[in-house]
Amino acid sequence: MGIQYRVTLTKEEVETLQSICSKGKHSSRTVLCARALLLLDRSDNTSDHWKMDDVSSALGMSTRTLSHLKERFVTDGLERALNRKPQEHPSRPVKFDGEFEAKLTQLACTDPPKGFARWTVRLLADKLVEMEITDAISPMSVQRILKKKNLSLT
């Protein structure tokens, strides 16, 4: 059997968890974890001790999730147990930042090329690649950026 972690809360931690459960704006996951930690508390200031299966059925969490919560609390502390770990690297890098959007807007506000009455998203996409502002961009990406900026080509 694996390592058993024992949750023992101080009075300050109990007060913090009770305030999270009773008031304020917190995510449902944070409130659920706070309630679980309060029920799993094995310190001397609590008279009744809940079993892992009872807490699991009362809160609708699996015993595995509760085990991981106890482990995070014991090893990393209260803050880490309640909140998710921040992402070290974003899921995907940002391709078109504010500077790119400004250049696109500036280009869309200029006169269209000769032979065209106005800019189209396809013309803008081709011109951005031609000017080497970006390696490649689809007309739909140009359209989404212009829509986000409330810029109409008509």
Residue-wise pLDDT tens digits, 80-95: 999 988 888 878 887 8
User: The pTM is what?
Assistant: 0.59
- Residue numbers of the domain that contains 102: 98-148
Percent of the chain predicted with pLDDT > 90: 62
DSSP for 34-76 reads HHHHHHH--STT-S----HHHHHHHHT--HHHHHHHHHHHHHH
Q: What is the pLDDT of residue 54?
A: 92
Does a structural domain hold residue 89? no
Domain boundary among 26, 53, 82: 82
Percent of the chain predicted with pLDDT > 70: 97
Whether 122 shows a pLDDT value over 90: the answer reads: yes
- Structural tokens at position 80: 């880490």
Contact in structure between 112 and 123 (CB atoms under 8 Å): yes
Q: What is the pLDDT of residue 33?
A: 93
Asked if residue 18 and residue 57 are part of one domain, the reply reads yes
- Per-residue pLDDT averaged across 104-118, rounded? 92
Does a structural domain hold residue 153? no
Give one word for 83, left, alpha or beta, with left for phi > 0 and alpha for psi -120 to 50.
beta
Whether 1 shows a pLDDT value over 70: the answer reads: no
Does a structural domain hold residue 92? no
Q: What is the pLDDT of residue 149?
A: 84
Does a structural domain hold residue 136? yes
Asked if residue 110 and residue 66 are part of one domain, the reply reads no
Report phi then psi at 83, rounded to 5: -110, 155
SS3 19: helix
Domains: count for the chain: 2
pLDDT tier for residue 45 given thresholds of 50, 70 and 90: low
Using alpha carbons, select from 14, 13, 26 the residue that is nearest to residue 83. Answer: 26
DSSP state of 21: H
Domain boundary among 26, 48, 82: 82
Element (H, E) at 55: helix 52-59
Asked if residue 76 and residue 115 are part of one domain, the reply reads no
Asked if residue 60 and residue 111 are part of one domain, the reply reads no
Does a structural domain hold residue 60? yes
Q: State how far the Cα of 66 lies from the Cα of 56, in Å rounded to an integer.
A: 7
Asked if residue 78 and residue 102 are part of one domain, the reply reads no
Does a structural domain hold residue 91? no
Q: What is the pLDDT of residue 152?
A: 80
Residues 56-79 have pLDDT tens digits of 999 999 999 999 999 999 999 999
Domain boundary among 25, 55, 82: 82
